[in-house]
Amino acid sequence: MDKTIEEKIKTLIIEIGDVYKENDWLVVKKYVLKYLKPEYRKFFSKRNEKNKKHSLNNFEIDLINYYYKNFNVRLELDENKKL
């Protein structure tokens, strides 16, 4: 992954982390995806087409860890929405 893309994503993570005080990963993910160019969205996981459940890929897990290091909040994927 290009460092500038990763920096842009981390900048968006910091932006939302400054105001969002809960721990729902999907809220953070939707915010980041909203402000990214469509070609950068390929780094994020997609919902399962049949059951519409979510899963986490390694890149997203790294972002969750980055968020935790910066805000001491562990983002979680709700069990009801998890694949």
Strand partners, 54: 82
pLDDT reading at 83 higher than 50: no
> Percent of the chain at pLDDT above 90?
65
- pTM assigned to the model: 0.88
Tell me the domain boundaries of the chain.
3-81
Strand partners, 82: 54
Q: Which tens digits make up the pLDDT trace of 12-65?
A: 999 999 999 999 999 999 999 999 999 899 999 988 788 888 889 999 999 999
How many other CB atoms are there within 10 angstroms of residue 64's CB atom? 21
